[in-house]
């Protein structure tokens, strides 16, 4: 018979901090993770996921306190964008406009792929939307909100859990794929001699001297 280990709020916060510490230590000690900019939270989270999966296979489940989740999620989303600067948006110009159009098109593609995949698997197309832009672009907060809405409006009781699972998959996949892809793009731009920004790590050793001489 399976047993469940339940953790209260203090223990849950301690374990969450421990996961981050483990992730930071692993990223700091494994050069490949550093080179590809893999987030410590993703590394630590994967280690924790493997550990809890093994425990589940051995007949022990883990339950964490979720009482702080709504308030902390509200605090997080309330602070998103506080550092935004209108002058920076203006400086983006045509490139920012093209990027915005690309993002909007990607949102549509995510939803189309999700709906068609759901239909192909014979499940409710609404689940395809949950696994589309709602979670892939909106993340856990948007997924949790719409998951509750889908559960109430369409009777999909598992919608909140599906939304959280999809958002977690998207977060991990983005963390594992985004770093290597970004590094590859940076290397290609550097090879073409295109400017990469003001960071010294992305410029040649003598760039600063040449700039001051000019």
Question: Is 110 within 8 Å of 170 (Cβ atoms)?
Answer: no
Tell me the β-bridge partners of 3: 60
Encode pLDDT of 34-71 as tens digits.
888 888 989 999 999 999 999 999 899 988 888 887 78
Say if 81 falls within a structural domain: yes
Question: Is 147 within 8 Å of 160 (Cβ atoms)?
Answer: yes
Say if 210 falls within a structural domain: no
pTM score > 0.85 for this model? no
Say if 205 falls within a structural domain: no
Same domain, 54 and 87: no
Contacts 24+ apart (CB under 8 A), 196-204: none
The domain containing residue 30 runs over which residues? 1-65
pLDDT reading at 210 higher than 50: no
Out of 23, 43, 65, pick the residue that ends a domain.
65
Angle between helices 159-191 and 40-57 (to 10 degrees): 140
Encode pLDDT of 75-106 as tens digits.
877 787 777 777 777 787 888 889 899 999 99
Sign of the Cα pseudo-torsion (102, 113, 183, 83, in order): positive
Residue 101, class by beta-carbon neighbours within 10 Å (0-12 exposed, 13-18 middle, 19+ buried)?
A: exposed
Question: Is 146 within 8 Å of 163 (Cβ atoms)?
Answer: yes
Same domain, 166 and 149: yes
CA distance 16 to 22: 10
Same domain, 33 and 131: no
Same domain, 109 and 55: no
pLDDT reading at 120 higher than 70: yes
> What is the number of structural domains in the chain?
2
Angle of CA points 143, 144, 146, to nearest 5°:
65
Question: 25 — phi, psi (to 5°)?
Answer: -65, -45
Same domain, 31 and 107: no
Question: 64 — phi, psi (to 5°)?
Answer: -110, 150
Question: Is 196 within 8 Å of 186 (Cβ atoms)?
Answer: yes
Rg from Cα positions in the chain = 21
Same domain, 99 and 184: yes
Q: Give Cα 103 to chain centroid, integer Å.
A: 16
Encode pLDDT of 146-198 as tens digits.
998 999 988 889 999 999 999 999 988 888 888 888 888 888 888 887 666 54
Say if 110 falls within a structural domain: yes
Same domain, 54 and 75: no
Same domain, 77 and 47: no
Say if 166 falls within a structural domain: yes
pLDDT attached to residue 159: 92
């Amino acid at each position: 018979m399976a047993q469940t280990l339940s953790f209260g709020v203090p223990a849950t916060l301690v374990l969450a901090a421990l996961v981050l510490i483990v992730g930071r230590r692993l990223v700091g000690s494994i050069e490949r993770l550093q080179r590809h900019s893999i987030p410590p939270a993703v590394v630590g989270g994967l280690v924790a996921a493997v550990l809890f999966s093994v425990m589940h296979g051995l007949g022990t489940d883990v339950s964490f306190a979720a009482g702080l989740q709504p308030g902390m999620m509200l605090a997080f989303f309330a602070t998103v964008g506080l550092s935004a600067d209108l002058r920076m948006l203006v400086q983006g110009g045509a490139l920012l406009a093209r990027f915005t159009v690309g993002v909007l098109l990607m949102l549509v593609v995510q939803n189309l792929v999700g709906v068609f995949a759901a239909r192909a698997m014979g499940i409710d197309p609404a689940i395809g939307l949950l696994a589309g832009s709602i979670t892939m672009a909106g993340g856990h907060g948007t997924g949790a909100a719409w998951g509750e809405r889908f559960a109430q409006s369409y009777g999909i009781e598992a919608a909140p859990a599906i939304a959280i699972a999809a958002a977690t998959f998207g977060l991990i996949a983005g963390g594992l794929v985004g770093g290597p892809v970004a590094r590859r793009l940076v290397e290609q731009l550097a090879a073409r001699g295109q400017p990469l920004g003001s960071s010294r790590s992305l410029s040649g050793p003598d760039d600063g001297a040449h700039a001051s001489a000019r």
